[in-house]
Structure 1
Amino acid sequence: MKHDHNTPQSETVTTPSSRRGFLGVAAAGMAGILLAPGVRLFEIAQAAPTTGSASSGASSKVRWGMLIDSGKCASGCTDCVTACNTENGLSGGTLPTDSQWIRKLEIKDVRTGHTQSLPMMCQHCAEPPCVDVCPTGASFKRADGIVLVDKHICIGCRYCIMACPYKARSFVHEPLTRQKPDVPRGMGTAEACTLCVHRVDRGEQPACVSACADAGHGAIIFGNLNDPESEISKRVASYPSRQIRENLNLNTGVRYIGI
């Protein structure tokens, strides 16, 4: 068994639905925020999408996912990271407080000393802890499995950041400029990899997948895990793959070969 030393080892936070409802009421009561004349946070929270709710362009017949072959992922290569930053308007580290939606990790087999490189991003869990702990419903999962944050109702509590066992969520600390029209972001909100949902809804692949393919690496495959005829499903059926921290039973949409 290989260990990812960059992934936090704390237990996942699990919150019963009753507690989540209480947190929503408490957050609204404490905030007392008027988002618009006569509209308070509490009313917005009650109308927020629930886990599994359908969004425009999303279908429960689809489960979008990624399969990453660590054997094809070269140490020192950051093509996927660069593509993500460019596509989503991230600074790529030039601003110390800016988000990073995908990062490269070096993992080591403690028995043999063998090291591997792999990209880490939001794993788009079927049972996302970030959604469970969100008091307003800002963190939600689309019908097609993509986990997102509604910036309009995120109150910046950062519960989702603490609950994520993959260290995949970031918080926007500073005002943002030169944003991409397809990628709305906002100061004081949480955010993470969206699987480039704006591209997926246009029938395109996520930017990291395209960049990896264009560079000739072919380490990342994207597709519909619910379609047995898709390339990703055939690969998953033919080759042993694993989920990061699979003991948590989150049924992640991102799988890895070779770890």
Structure 2
Amino acid sequence: MRGRLMVHGALMAYTLLALFPIALILINSVKSREAIFDDPLALPTMESLTFIGFQKVLASTHFLLYFGNSLVVTLAALFCILLFGAMAAWALSEYRFMGNRVLALFIAFGIMIPIRLGTVSILELMVRLELVNTLTALVLVYTAQGVPLAVMILSEFMRQVPSELKDAARCDGIGEVAIFFRVILPLIRPAMATVAVFTMIPAWNDLWFPLILAPSERTRTVTLGVQQFIGQYVTDWNSVLAALSLAVIPMLILYALFSRQLIRGLTAGAVK
């Protein structure tokens, strides 16, 4: 009993530590500039409550465009990561062919080596393909960044699918593609939710590649759009915190939707 209380206490402390920055942003986004600097930990009062930051963000910038760009890039990259990652994991876990282990090791290098080390080469490639200042460039980069992790996670779950199910489907005359989409994918939904959470957050929060590959006004993402409120000498903190609040809400919603599948995916390996 004492051990369980200690575990729950540690988890609760970690939860509060993780949620504290988000709560701080949300609280201060509806406070006046003076109240933010006077006591950033205090809740807004009737005197300090203001929505001027949200008004500035929505009225004086193309924030909805930036928000839409981030949403399109993140969802498109997430779809490609789950599709191609699952297909590659299925091939590596189900079929034995020459170079299977070498290919798996090559994909694993994608996890160990940060993709930012290849920024110059990526930029040169995008220039040759005429994809600079397009959302397609960001989708391709985030897909390449997320596929290795997806392959490593999904392949382990696919190996745990009973071979009797696949053999029974083959005996019924179902093709390999149908087995993949109708048998395998429904069984590994917790793992796919885990991959989705771990890949969508870096794509949504990334500032590096949008700044290098898509800095134009029509292709800016949310994180890049927030930078216009941060100056060398003066920073509009009301607008910055309001923009960050609007940017963090979609991730909280998606995380809440995937949370149950995420927990099942993280614990399935340990239980089995």
Scaled to the shorter chain, the TM-score interval is under 0.3
Higher-Rg member (1/2): 2
Q: TM-score, normalised on structure 1?
A: 0.26
Give the structure with the larger strand fraction. 1
Q: TM-score, normalised on structure 2?
A: 0.25
Give the structure with the larger helix fraction. 2
